Structure 1
Amino acid sequence: MTRSDRTGLKRDLGLFEVTLSGVGIILGAGIYALIGKAAELAGNSVWIAFALAALIAVFTGLSYAELSSIFPRASAEYEYTNRAFGKRLAFVIGWLIIFSGVIGASTVALGFGGYFEALTGASALPSAVLLILALSIILLWGIKISAWFAIVFTLIETVGLLIVICIGVPHLGSVDYLDMPNGLRGVFEAAALIFFAYMGFEEMVKLSEETRDPERNMPLALMAALAITILLYILVALSVVSVVPPEVLAASAAPFAEVAAEALGPEAFVVVSAIALFATANTVLLMLLAASRIAYGMAESASLPTVLGRVHPGRRTPMVAIVAVMLLSIAFLFSGDIAFVASANDFILFATFVVINASLITLRRKEPELPRPFRVPFAFGWVPVLPVLGILTCLFLIVHLDGAAILLGLGIAVVGGLIVLVRWQRSG
């Protein structure tokens, strides 16, 4: 009997569903909302910022691919870190990942509310609350219907990106794509910020226990989803600066809609804004899904209250974890603007990725006999080169993040550390 059978989660997802779910997680609010701010920092060279962020995502994505092939568990980062470094650090990493999903979902839900307000006049905050409630009901209904909602939303938001690319193609070559108004530092700062747009590839592995043949399908889906989104992002970045100057993109609350309106008229603004609703809703759905799965996995490992591990007897979904994540996300709807919280999320992700890459390196040395259906290429002896580069590049981008956002991320980590300290002191 497999672990999935024992825990009650249903293996309903194949390579196609996991790949498109992964594309849906990665695409979304980041590219729709942050490209204006990134263009302000990097100018016409914003595509270089996307390429740098993509390179860092690939380094760490390969580590996730190997680790997920060894440990196909819903608790993902917690499982990897626990095996390499023990439960204390594993708890802090799991804690950070849960809050990354929770805060990200709340912020993107507010982005949805903003677009909805612009189109209908309805207040943003109630719309954001209703979105989180509605998407949580979908998650409670079952993983299969959640995945198909994500696939439909992904197709719609991908159409939005393709529209922007098609608008930009006739204008390609009209500007200097190496123009850097703030020099290389501006490009690095843009890469650190825009990494939020790649957030999601690490969340795919939370679906391992609901994926058929996860040792094979999860690494393939992860690499395929990254390749698709990297190509789309770089094409979009080249397109938008070819149509609208970076300073205009930076001043707009809806930069893609601004591009559409400039090229096609005000009706296109409405169409692209409507597509943005699907993009932001999709991101919220998949962030809620990922955060609830790691909370469930940690409860299964007795690192969080076991009540979070309860599965609905009929739907076989982690109902208590879903409700808990929903309530936390609603509470965090009063967070700061999307750029600030994106930076806080990036700090949490970079810190986590340092530990994940270190976990892979440690396990290569500590447990070389483990079966590895997927193995990160290139190594000197037992030291894999790409995870080392992943650690160094993550540390490099951390220093280019907003200082206040770093403090918020550190604060969340400190709370997790204090919980560890209290728990382990009580247990002797």
Structure 2
Amino acid sequence: MSKLKRDLGLFETTLMGVGIILGAGIYVLIGAAAGIAGNSVWLSFVIASIVAIFTGLSYAEFSSRFSDDSGEYEYVKKTISERLGFIVGWMMVFTLLISAAAVALGFAGYFARLFPSFNVGVVIIAATTIIIFSLISYWGIKQAAWLNVLFTFLETFGLLFIIYLGLNKIGSVDYLDMPLGFEGVLSASALVFFAFIGFETIVKLSEETRTPKKTVPRAILLSILISTVIYILVAISAVSILSWDKLAVSTAPLADVAAVALGSYAFLALSIIALFSTGNTILIILIGASRQIYGICKNYPKLKNLSKVSSWRKTPHIAVLFTAIAAIAFSLIGKIGTVAEMTNFAVFATFILINTALISLRLKEKKPFTKGFRAPFSIKKVPVTAVLGLFSSLFLMFQLPMFVILSGIGLLAGGTVIHKLVS
């Protein structure tokens, strides 16, 4: 069977992480989050980043121990059980598929504002976008990586531009104003956690990364830290320029921030950059989802067709096709907020299991792991950061609407049924 090609170094891998994190979450959801947290939306990003860092440390250790594209599936299978490994892998696949749909809808929102005469509906725009980036995912990882580098520089420039615009406005509002109290800040942190989804996708590139046990842990931590600093500064600048209540009703919030500061040309520029940003996120999510499907399905004879690799392009072409179809199906929901919250449930459930798996692994091992990255701060054998990651993920999960939680439980049950069918 053909194998994937190792083409990625630390620079490309980190930029792919930053590229996916700095996508739709900040360009699209900052408006909805500001409507809940008010001027304190920056604090929501801080809270969400802490949860991301705790779990990021667990991912970093696992990726240093195991280098496989199946990621979460492999980690949980080797530390807890094969069945639970399949279920967490199933959850993560759906996380990525729903994320791709959510970001594609965000892309469509900016596109519709930018080209109002092109009135075909956001769902059709989202579906077309998914198809285009799926073709790039199929074409090759090196080509996708360099396209990601270009898009990441553009989207980062857009965010730095927003920060620059807000410099002379710093201090013009009360940054601790909470219209719904601290409860609103916590609810917004559960929503904006979507903006941090992406660092875990780096592990899906392990089989296409050079020296993955060193490169992947570093890329995970670097991508979270870089993104966190940018998010906090952008959130402060945004509410300094445009009031939180106006941000809340905007379909293109950062473009509207630029328009208030510099006029219509700035709106046009930020809208175009937002298209590159959200497009970049779609690309990396689709790559991550198809590689995870490939990594899981190669372990199950009944699913072996999904793990086939194109002898021409050296990419998992069947998994790429499946990913595109499923993401388009989720985009039919049409509401980015709902889709993002569904994504967050799946992510929180996955993070709970990943942190539990690391705790279980540490308790079982006879000698400490010393050949790679090890999450810091342990009490006896128990990694403190994994415990904090577990409970903080559980806490944020229950900040989500009840219908989202119930839908997520249904998704978990579905994973159990599918496992029985393919085992």
Structure 1 stretch 366-375 or stretch 163-172: which is displaced more? 366-375
Contact 1:44 / 1:179 at 8 angstroms: preserved in 2?
Answer: yes
How far did 1:129 drift?
Answer: 2.1
Tell me if the contact between 2:190 and 2:396 (Cα under 8 Å) persists in the aligned partners: yes
Q: Partner residue of 1:104?
A: 99
The 5 Å alignment of 1:5-404 reads 8-120=3-115, 121-122=117-118, 123=120, 124-302=122-300, 305-369=303-367, 372-404=371-403
State the Cα deviation string for residues 242-286 of structure 1 (Å, max 9, x = none): 111110100111110111111101221111111111111111111
**What amino acid is aligned across from residue 383 of structure 1 in structure 2?**
V
User: How far did 1:303 drift?
Assistant: 7.2
Separation of aligned partners in 1, 2:334 and 2:124: 17
Amino acid across the alignment from 1:128: A
- Contact 2:33-2:191 within 8 A present in 1 as well: yes
Write the letter of the residue equivalent to 1:201. F
CA distance in 2, matches of 1:15, 1:313: 27
Name the SS for the 1:305 alignment partner. helix
Partners in 1 of 2:2 and 2:321 — Cα distance? Answer: 18
Contact in 2 for aligned 1:102/1:329 (Cα 8 Å): yes
Q: 2: distance between equivalents of 1:360 and 1:303?
A: 28
Deviations 1:323-358 (A, max 9, x none): 110111122220141111111111110110010001
Instruction: Kindly state the Cα deviation for residue 165 of structure 1 after the two structures are TM-superposed.
Output: 0.5
In structure 2, stretches of 5+ residues that fail to align are: none
Deviation at 1:368, TM superposition (A): 4.1
SS in 1 for 2:69: coil
1:290-315 CA distance string (max 9 Å, x none):
11011000012227600011111121
Q: Per the alignment, do residues 293 and 385 of structure 1 end up closer, same or farther by CA in structure 2, a change over 3 Å counting? A: same
Q: Is the 8 A contact 1:343 1:406 kept in 2?
A: no
Aligned partner of 2:267: which letter? F
Amino acid at match of 1:380: I
CA RMSD of aligned residues (A): 1.4
Contact kept in structure 2, 1:340 and 1:402, CA below 8 Å: no
Using structure 2 for the length normalisation, give the TM-score: 0.96
Alignment match, 1:3: none
1:110 positional shift: 2.0
- C-alpha distance 303-20 of structure 1, shift in aligned 2 (>3 A): farther
